[in-house]
Amino acid sequence: MVHFSAIEAPFFSARRRQQKLRCRAPGSQHAIQYPGVQDAGKEERDERSGSALEEEQIAKDTSGGFRTTSRQETMRTLTIAVACAAIAAAPASLLAQGIPDTIAPHLIALEQQWNDAILENDSAAAGAFMAAEWTEITSDGSVLTRSQDLAELVGGYHATSLRSFDFAVHVYDNVALISGVSEEQSSYKGKDTSGRFRWMDVWVRRAGRWVCVASTVARITTVVNDPGGGP
């Protein structure tokens, strides 16, 4: 048994009183709050309030506007990511409906440049528009290969004028069909080959560059409306 002296007894009694007061109900007017000792009910209320604020509170930012909570920011980020993924997965043909058509004018310009190379009898420049497997069904039904066509270009063909009109362009993603009418004044090994011809070229886009892979041509024997004012 431990004995306390008369000096220690008051201190011990005071400490016991403090412990009793500390155990009183938090709402009592005699309750004493000590540093580090918190009301358990208050902690629960604060925890619920914190969760509600995280999901619902909108606080003003320093510019006078509003900023969303972290949860709302996360949802908005996910929504944007899903939208971007959907756009990336959409077929190119669908996306092309919402942008200006620049492919058709570009392909028509390539046809004109090809004609310029033919007028100059420049086989290297003309060959740049033709794929290695290019072939042409000629007006007499024969098939001409790329090498044969380029050989004729420098081996007897000569044109003094060559123009194309009545273009029609159909684009299917990386494939395009171009048809038109050409009028030329030309000869081949001294024989007149002038006339009007209706033709169709098949173009394919490879590594971002368009090349012609096939052509067909037929001589026109009837009158064709010419936007340039010809007969």
CATH number at residue 170: 3.10.450.50
Residue 3 lies in a domain: no
Residue 206 lies in a domain: yes
Instruction: Please give the residue range of the domain that contains residue 149.
Output: 103-219
Residue 159 lies in a domain: yes
Q: Sorting pLDDT into bands at 50, 70 and 90, what band is 85? A: low
The count of structural domains within the chain is 1
Assess whether pLDDT exceeds 60 at residue 225.
yes
Across residues 141-150, what is the average pLDDT? 97
Assess whether pLDDT exceeds 80 at residue 117.
yes
Residue 39 lies in a domain: no
Across residues 82-91, what is the average pLDDT? 52
Q: Sorting pLDDT into bands at 50, 70 and 90, what band is 75? A: low
The whole-angstrom separation of Cα 218 and Cα 203 is 19
Regarding pTM above 0.85, the answer is no
Residue closest to 146 by CA, chosen among 158, 134, 129: 134
Residue 107 lies in a domain: yes
The whole-angstrom separation of Cα 3 and Cα 12 is 12
Q: Sorting pLDDT into bands at 50, 70 and 90, what band is 37? A: very low
Residue 194 lies in a domain: yes
Find all residues with CB under 8 Å of 140, minimum gap 6, and list them: none
Strands (E), 10-156: 59-60, 66-67, 130-137, 143-145
Per-residue pLDDT tens digits for 162-207? 999 999 999 999 999 999 999 999 999 999 999 999 999 999 999 9
Residue 123 lies in a domain: yes
Long-range CB pairs of 149-156 (<8 Å, 24+ gap) are 150/123, 150/126, 151/123, 152/188, 153/118, 153/121, 153/123, 153/126, 154/121, 154/123, 156/188, 156/189, 156/190
